Amino acid sequence: MSAVAIQDTGRSNIITNTLTIARRNLLHIKATPEQLVEMSIQPLMFLVLFVYVFGGAIASSSKEYLQFALPGILVQSVAFLPFTTAIAINVDFQRGVIDRFRSLPIARSAVIAGRITADGFRVAWSVLLITGFGLFLGFRFGGT
C-alpha cells in the first residue's frame, strides 16, 4: 500500500503557487501577441479618438478635453479587469485547465489569485502606457 504525501499549503507556498500561475498567464502574451495589442493599442486609440475627434465638439479645445478624457480612459481600462479575468478563467475551465490544476498539490486559491495578479500586471502596463502617451499629448496632473 502506498502512502500519499499531503503537502502543507503554508503562506509561502500559496505565494509561490500564485506567482507561478501568474507567470504562466503572462507567458500567454508570447503565444498570442494580440493580447499585447489589445491591452496597449486599444486604450491609446480610444484616447486619440475621444480627444482629437470628439474633443473639439465637446470642449472648447482638445487640450482641455484631454484633461477630462485621460482619467476616464484610465478608469475604463481598470474597470475592464474583472471582465477579462472572468473570461480567461472561463476559457481555462472549458479547456480543462482548471481540472488539471485541481489534481496538482497547489493551493486552490492560487489559480484565481495568479490570474488576478497577471491581469493586474497587464493593467499596470496599460496604465503606464496611457499615462505616458497622455503626458506626450499634453496632459498635466493637477489640471490645466
pLDDT at position 141, please? 83
Q: What is the mean pLDDT of the chain?
A: 84
User: Is the pTM here over 0.85, yes or no?
Assistant: no
Task: Using alpha carbons, select from 4, 3, 13 the residue that is nearest to residue 107.
Answer: 13
Q: Note the pLDDT tens digit of each residue in 72-92.
A: 889 988 888 888 889 888 998
The residues of the chain scoring below 50 in pLDDT are 1, 3-6
pLDDT at position 5, please? 47
pLDDT at position 7, please? 54
pLDDT at position 1, please? 45
* Amino acid of residue 95: R
Instruction: Return the DSSP state at 126.
Output: H
Residues 6+ positions from 63 with CB-CB distance below 8 Å: 138, 144
Task: Give the Cα separation of 3 and 6 in Å (integer).
Answer: 9
Task: Give the Cα separation of 126 and 35 in Å (integer).
Answer: 11
Domain edges within the chain? 33-137
C-alpha cell at 14: 500559496
